[in-house]
Amino acid sequence: MHLCSIPDSLWKLHLSTYENAIDVRGLNKYFGDKHVVKDLSLQVGRGEILGFLGPNGSGKTTAIRMLCGLLTPDSGEGHCLGYDITTQSDAIKREAGYMTQKFSYWEDLSIRENLDFVARVYELANRKHVVDEALETLGLTSRSSQLARSLSGGWKQRLALAACMLRHPKLLLLDEPTAGVDPNARRDFWEELHELASKGVSVLISTHYMDEAERCHKLAYIAYGNLLAKGSAQSIIEEQKLFTYEVTGERLMEISKVIEKDPAIEQTVIFGSTLHVSGKNSEAIEEVLKTQQFKSIPTSLEDVFIYLMKHTRDNYGESYEL
Amino acid sequence: MSFSLNRWWAIVLKEFLQLKRDRVTFAMMVVLPIIQLALFGFAINTDPKHLPIAIVSYDESDFTRTILSSMQTSDYFAINTDYTTADEAQAALKKGEIQFILTIPSDFTKKLLRGEKPSILLEADATDPVTVSVALASIDGIAQQVAKKDLVGSLSTLWSQKNPFEIRVHRLYNPNSINQYNIIPGLMGTVMTMTLTMMTALAITRERERGTMENLLATPARPLEIMTGKIIPYVFIGLVQASLILFASHFVFGVPFNGSIVLVYTVALLFIAVNLTIGITISSLAQNMLQALQLTIFYFLPSILLSGFMFPFYGMPVWAQHIGEILPLTYFNRLIRGIILKDNDLAMLWPNIWPLLIIAVVMMTLAVKFYKKTLD
Ligand SMILES: Nc1ncnc2c1ncn2[C@@H]1O[C@H](COP(=O)(O)OP(=O)(O)OP(=O)(O)O)[C@@H](O)[C@H]1O
Ligand SMILES: [Mg+2]
């Protein structure tokens, strides 16, 4: 039976019966013969914030587009807000809020006109009030008649976010919403996100910022279309069983070049005046580093992601032109 | 989920605002008709063939048969045998199904033999003066041929007169053969075809190219709401263009206005709708704006050439007429000339109205069908 014919009272029933806001299994997407998303399975619970991470071109945007019905998966199945992603994308579009990576509001409309269009097209009650309120929270009331074109990059991003939140969706699909946004506004944004989550809103958010990754309840790391790690930041770090050492001293660049050749060293990353060295075998690393000044430190999320990215490039990456 | 007027209205408002901000486009759509009017003040001469003619004959003899057969062989005329009475022929001429009526009076042969120089009446639909002048040039030759063939023996004295009989010509609807009378109303459809199709052809591809399509697709707006919403502002533009050309044709070029203004606007509105649906179909087919423009031109060229705007419709080869019959401009040209110059009424216009209705419905269906609801 088609959901659209179910009367209003049953609708609510339907909405309250889904368990996970996002629950997809085995999603695949090809562009030509390029396999962009491979067997992706994701679950996002109610009130959960899932961080979606991965290097450029790894398929994050493609995956999010499949979730909200903008791209048809070549195979796989699943539900968003209890609606089938392949057959009920109309309902998903109505109830989920999707924010595109690239600014995709109308630059030749004013800020207010853009918000007004959104309010009309989603048939929001109390349109004027809703738009006024959004302008107020954004702090753009005085500039509301300015064309969207004239906004700075960060402000465009904030406008898009406001437009997406306008109708209080139960699921937010945010594709790098804070790219180019200043730290202050980012902090406000994350506070609001956690507040929404506490009210039961589920969030899937892609980001390249490590501090943001740490603020998510759970993380999913995707590289070259493969989902490589899933879980809390802590569990992802533990899963990789990496040992990390911090080397201090002079000429870190040269040291890094030398020790990199040793098979025990999986990766070296320079962080300012220190060098992070990671690997799986702690004894072997300590042996390599014995002539240096070093100490053992906890492995960070960033170390793990760099490790994961390198590792998959070696395994899957050859066929990719980046 | 059905058509939502709220969502539709959201799209309409958005398109109006965007059009308002796009000054260049706005100016182009108003200035273009004026430039074209100026350019097309001059006629394009052609050599039409096989123009449909009805014969109303009250006399039958060797002479009249010779006249008819030499007309047939002259290539300029194609005798239409469907209309043989004066009334039928007049109605067909008014509807534009035939271009000429030749009336042979009952005492023609008698007078000819007596050397009284009888006359034959040739009535011409002079809406398109080029057609008429070519046909008239050939008709003199026909008279000479008849004389040579049949006026032999004792009758040859008649031949020695310069003209054994006379062909009197009545130019109907455009008695002075003013080419502008034909060209200017025809220009109305041409300008509307060009600008309206192009603007709507860009409507969806523009969103795609600017990246706003992703946003539009993520909203619950339905394809039919988006497409009909997008063409509404151009309906108004089309009406402004039509008014401009009507105004100029009457007050600048002095084209007489015989028909009903309500009918003119009714058919103009229909024609606008047809072109907008064609434009929007192109828009949902094309991948980008360049393709949309190319497709528009691909549609526009045959429209100018084969619709009876540049060359008389019945003067074209049959295959070209068949192509012309699927072009909306063909019907609109007949409609607008029929109303402005010949005061046709709705019943007379109907044969040229229903094809437009069908084209509009088919095109809108195709547009919705081709519209891509995803980014694939
Ligand atoms: N419409 C398309 N046609 C062909 N290839 C595409 C298309 N969209 C994306 N791709 C390819 O799919 C791959 C994944 O792209 P995607 O945009 O999903 O990456 P991403 O993870 O969002 O990257 P980023 O972090 O840079 O935003 C890339 O290699 C890209 O070139
Ligand atoms: Mg992306």
Question: If you write DSSP's letter for every residue of B279-302 in order, what string do you get?
Answer: HHHHHHH-SSHHHHHHHHHHHHHH
| CB-closest option in A103, A106, A120 to B9 | A120
Angle between helices A233-240 and A301-315 (to 10 degrees): 50
What's the rounded mean pLDDT across residues A172-198? Answer: 91
Ligand 1 contacts CB of residue A54 (under 6 A): yes
User: Which residue, by CA, sits nearest to atom 8 of ligand 1?
Assistant: A62
Whose CA is closest to A144, among A170, A110, A174? A110
Q: How far is the CA of A191 from the centre of ligand 1 (A)?
A: 30
Question: Do B237 and B149 fall into the same domain?
Answer: no
- Of A27, A52, A53, A58, the one to substitute when testing ligand 1's pocket (max ligand atoms within 8 A of C-beta) is A58
In a domain, B14, yes or no: no
What 8-state DSSP symbol labels residue A68?
T
Question: Do B193 and B103 fall into the same domain?
Answer: no
Question: Do A167 and A229 fall into the same domain?
Answer: yes
CATH number at residue A292: 3.30.70.100
Number of domains in chain B: 2
Higher pLDDT, B178 or A239: A239
Question: Do B243 and B348 fall into the same domain?
Answer: yes
| Residues B14, A117: C-beta atoms closer than 8 Å | yes
- Closest atom of ligand 1 relative to the A55 alpha carbon: 25
Q: Give the model's pLDDT for residue B310.
A: 77
The domain of B185 spans 179-375
Q: Give the model's pLDDT for residue A6.
A: 40
* Last residue within a domain, chosen from A202, A217, A233: A233
Q: Give the model's pLDDT for residue A316.
A: 62
Q: How far is A196 from chain B (nearest CA, A)?
A: 22
- Of A28, A52, A62, the one to substitute when testing ligand 1's pocket (max ligand atoms within 8 A of C-beta) is A62
Question: Do B110 and B238 fall into the same domain?
Answer: no
Q: Give the model's pLDDT for residue A10.
A: 45
Q: Give the model's pLDDT for residue B29.
A: 79
Interface check B4 vs A, CB under 8 A: yes
Q: Give the model's pLDDT for residue A40.
A: 93
CATH number at residue A114: 3.40.50.300
Long-range contacts of A127-133 (CB under 8 A, 24+ apart): A130/A166, A130/A167, A131/A166
- Cα–Cα distance for residue pair B16/B106, rounded to 1 Å: 65
Number of domains in chain A: 2
List the structure tokens of A85: 């992603």
* Last residue within a domain, chosen from A233, A265, A288: A233
Question: Do A60 and A161 fall into the same domain?
Answer: yes
Question: Do A102 and A132 fall into the same domain?
Answer: yes
In the predicted structure, residue A225 carries a pLDDT above the cut 60: yes
Question: Do B194 and B340 fall into the same domain?
Answer: yes
The reply to whether ipTM tops 0.95 is no
Question: Do A264 and A140 fall into the same domain?
Answer: no
| Residues B21, A122: C-beta atoms closer than 8 Å | no
Q: Give the model's pLDDT for residue A317.
A: 53
The residue in chain B having the minimum alpha-carbon distance to the alpha carbon of residue A119 is: B10
In the predicted structure, residue A4 carries a pLDDT above the cut 60: no
Question: Do A287 and A192 fall into the same domain?
Answer: no
User: Which residue, by CA, sits nearest to atom 9 of ligand 1?
Assistant: A62
B97: number of Cβ within 10 Å = 18
In a domain, B231, yes or no: yes
* Last residue within a domain, chosen from A233, A264, A290: A233
Question: Do B250 and B338 fall into the same domain?
Answer: yes
Ligand 1 contacts CB of residue A240 (under 6 A): no
Question: Do B57 and B194 fall into the same domain?
Answer: no
* Last residue within a domain, chosen from B172, B194, B221: B172
What's the rounded mean pLDDT across residues A39-44? Answer: 93
In a domain, A308, yes or no: no
Q: Which helix (H) or strand (E) holds A35?
A: strand A34-45
Best mutation site among B215, B222, B225, B226 for testing chain A: the one with the most A CBs within 10 Å?
B215
Q: What pLDDT tens digit does each residue of chain B (376 aa) get?
A: 588 999 999 999 999 999 989 888 888 878 888 787 777 654 444 456 678 889 888 888 888 888 888 887 777 788 888 888 889 998 988 888 888 898 888 888 888 888 788 888 888 887 777 677 767 777 777 777 776 776 665 555 555 555 677 777 777 776 655 666 777 777 888 888 988 998 899 888 999 999 999 999 999 999 899 999 999 999 998 998 889 888 887 887 777 788 888 999 999 999 999 999 999 999 988 988 999 999 999 999 999 888 888 778 887 888 988 999 999 999 998 898 888 888 888 888 899 999 999 999 999 899 888 888 888 7
- Cα–Cα distance for residue pair B106/A130, rounded to 1 Å: 85
Q: Give the model's pLDDT for residue B179.
A: 61
Q: What are the φ and ψ backbone dihedral angles of A159, each rounded to 5 degrees? A: -65, -45
Question: Do A198 and A275 fall into the same domain?
Answer: no
Question: Do B85 and B157 fall into the same domain?
Answer: yes
Say what the pTM is: 0.77
Q: Give the model's pLDDT for residue A8.
A: 45
In the predicted structure, residue A180 carries a pLDDT above the cut 70: yes
Amino acid identity, residue A3?
A: L
In the predicted structure, residue A11 carries a pLDDT above the cut 70: no
Ligand 1 contacts CB of residue A281 (under 6 A): no
B27: number of Cβ within 10 Å = 10
| pLDDT tens digits for range A271-285 | 888 888 988 888 888
Dihedral in degrees, nearest 10, Cα atoms B367, B369, B370, B373: 110
Within 8 A by CB and 6+ apart from A81, the residues are A15, A18, A21, A91, A92, A95, A96, A170, A171
Question: Do A260 and A218 fall into the same domain?
Answer: no
In the predicted structure, residue A128 carries a pLDDT above the cut 50: yes
Question: Do A182 and A284 fall into the same domain?
Answer: no
Question: Do A87 and A227 fall into the same domain?
Answer: yes
- Of A28, A37, A40, A61, the one to substitute when testing ligand 1's pocket (max ligand atoms within 8 A of C-beta) is A61
Q: Where are the beta strands (DSSP E) in B105-146?
A: 119-125
- Cα–Cα distance for residue pair B150/A32, rounded to 1 Å: 78
Question: Do A96 and A114 fall into the same domain?
Answer: yes
Q: Which helix (H) or strand (E) holds A238?
A: helix A233-240
* Last residue within a domain, chosen from B172, B192, B207: B172
The domain of A263 spans 241-298
**Please, are residues B2 and A119 in contact by the beta-carbon 8 Å criterion?**
no
Q: Give the model's pLDDT for residue B154.
A: 58
In a domain, A179, yes or no: yes
In a domain, A284, yes or no: yes
Question: Do B227 and B137 fall into the same domain?
Answer: no
Amino acid identity, residue A238?
A: E
Q: Report strand pairing: A20-31 vs A75-80.
A: antiparallel
